[in-house]
Amino acid sequence: MNALQAKFQGLHQYSAPLTAADDLFTFWEQTKQEAKLNPLSASKTLVEDSLLHAITYKVTYCGFDDTPIQGWFLIPVYPVQKQYPCVLSFHGYTGQKGLPEEYAQWLLMGVAVFAIDIRGQGGETGNHLKQTFGTTKGWITQGILDKDTCYYKAITVDCLRALDWLVEQPEIDAERIGIVGGSQGGGLALICTALSDKVAATIAHIPNMCHMDFGVINSTSSLTEIGPLLLQYPAYTEQVFDTLSYFDMLNLAHLIRTPLLVSVGLKDTVCLPETIFAVYNRIAPEHKSILIDPFAGHEVSRANNREGLRFMQDHLM
């Protein structure tokens, strides 16, 4: 057995202790019920765009705490269908939904797209989340002392609400909705798949929000924002780790029951392979497959992107 084979074997056997609180599932059931009580108050506005073979809409809907979430809703013109399969797209940390043409590969497949901004980051969506304690740079430490005020709760609910909006659209086949995301977007794809029954298939490229306690200590990702806060306020360390446990896919992975494709780079220092495999190994074998890039860092290769297209073609078309 060479070193690479040994690495593969070790990762496939990797297991991390669960960090779930006793009220984890009660918390999420209550959170989802509370979200349903708030109207989406959505608007869908036709936009003149240079994409000749797609219909482009600008969408706004109310997310957690009534923050207006901005998104693109794109419908392919060909092939003509009564209802289309659709992918819901989540971007990486500090990113944005981008421009409509960035989703042309899905439209060419005959798949509709709903791409949203994650609140407060690089897009057009703001952030109404109340702040009662100081934060370090970025967004991750906002409200992190309490699961009910945590930024991770807000963005998760925002994404679940996107699914709620999608299933109401007459152009979309509610039985053929997939989610795709990378890094932060991959983590959000995973948690939405675990918590929602509206997802038919999921691609989680190099996902974050996995084995988060390990990530806080070892990763070079957004989780590094937590360290400086705890350096100043070490008495809050256990409180912060407890909050993170409610949004850690390590504790929710077993809820995934639909087809899932995951990718991982073994040289990734942002979303470390140990964090991803800790989650992947807890998902039932019949629901999952993984793409391993031994020499890749925090990136999605062209080959893995293509495998994702094939995966969605198999499960949505």
- Domain with 97 in it: what CATH number? 3.40.50.1820
93 among the known binding-site residues?
A: yes
Distance separating alpha carbons of residues 148 and 281, to the nearest angstrom: 28
- Summarised one tens digit per residue, pLDDT across range 247-272 is 999 999 999 999 999 999 999 999 99
Domain that includes residue 183, residue range: 21-130+158-211+255-316
Distance separating alpha carbons of residues 121 and 159, to the nearest angstrom: 14
Residue 98 has pLDDT above 90, yes or no: yes
- Summarised one tens digit per residue, pLDDT across range 61-89 is 999 999 999 999 999 998 888 999 999 99
| Number of domain units in the chain | 1
The DSSP bridge partners found for residue 265 are 293
Pair 316, 289: CB distance under 8 Å = no
**Residue 22 per-residue DSSP state:** T
Domain membership flag for residue 218: no
Residue 287 has pLDDT above 90, yes or no: no
Calculate mean pLDDT across residues 6-18. 94
54-62/68-76 β-pairing: antiparallel
Calculate mean pLDDT across residues 273-288. 96
Domain membership flag for residue 162: yes
Domain membership flag for residue 246: no
What positions carry a catalytic annotation?
Answer: 183, 268, 298
Pair 202, 216: CB distance under 8 Å = no
Task: Quote the pLDDT of residue 137.
Answer: 86
